[in-house]
Amino acid sequence: MNRLTGKVALVTGAGRGIGAAIARAFAAEGAAVVLAELDGAAAEATAREIANGVRGAQTLAVQTDVTQPASVRAAVEAAQRAFGPVGVLVNNAGINVFADPLTMTDDDWRRCFAVDLDGVWNGCRAVLPDMVQRRAGSIINIASTHAFQIIPGCFPYPVAKHGVIGLTRALGIEYAPNNVRVNAIAPGYIETQLTHDWWNAQPDPQAARKATLDLPPMKRIGRPEEVAMTAVFLASDEAPFINASCITIDGGRTALHHE
C-alpha cells in the first residue's frame, strides 16, 4: 500500500467517477493528492471521503477549470505550496459531446475540444517545465476506446480523443530524454454515474443496461477502480520504461471482431 509514497499527484475531474476512483487509489498508495475539479463542492466532498477512509491521507481540493490555462496553473501552484512539486498528473476531466456533424453548432465543437483536448494540453503545459527540470515525472491522459473505433452518432468526441493519443505520443517522445513519461489509458464502458444516467434516460432502462453489458466479451462493463489500478501502475516506479503508450481497459471489446 505504499507504491506512491512520497509522490504528489494532481488529478483533474476528480470529484466523481473515474477521477474520484483514481484520487482514492493514489491516496491509498501513499501519494499526496490534489483534486482539481470544476465542481468545487464535489471535489471537497471526495477529498473528505478520502481523508475519512484512508489513514494519514493528504488531500487538497482545488476548484479548477481545465479549459483555462491560468486556472490549471493555479491548481499546480496550490499543489506545490501544499505538498511540493507535482510528480504525477492525471488529465481525467472530460465531457461527452455527441452530435450530427452537419447540424452540430460551432459552440458544441469548441466545447468538446476545449475540455477533452485543450484541457489535457493545459495540464501538461502546467507541469512539464518543473518535471523537465527535475528530470522526473509521469503524466497519464485519460483517452477512450473512441480513439480507436468510431461509433456513429458520437462526433466530435472521438476526434478529440484521437488528439489525446497524438498528444500523448508526441509529448512522450519529446521529453523522454528528460525522464518524463507520458502515457494514456483508454477506458471502454465504465460503470459511472454518467452511465447510469444514460441508461435511465432510455425508453427501457433495463434493456439499455443489458445491451451495454452484452457488448464486451466478458459480459460486464468496467469499474472505475479498475481504471484506477492501471493509473497507479503507470504513476509508480514499477513502470519506468513505459512511455508514449496507451493501455486499453475494455474487457476485450475493441479486440472483438464484429459481424
Catalytic residues: 157
Specify the 3-state DSSP secondary structure of 30.
Answer: coil
| Sign of torsion over alpha carbons 220, 223, 229, 231 | positive
Quick one: cell of 120?
489535457
Instruction: List, in order, residues 6 or more apart from 66 with CB less than 8 Å away.
Output: 12, 13, 36, 38, 72, 91, 93, 115, 118, 119, 120, 122, 123
Ramachandran area for residue 7 (φ above 0: left; ψ -120 to 50: alpha; else beta)? beta
Q: Which helix (H) or strand (E) holds 78?
A: helix 69-82
Separation CA 9–CA 18 (nearest Å): 15
CB atoms within 10 A of CB 29: 20
Separation CA 242–CA 179 (nearest Å): 11
Ramachandran angles phi, psi of 182, nearest 5°: -130, 115
Angle of helix 157-174 relative to helix 119-134, nearest 10 degrees, comes to 10
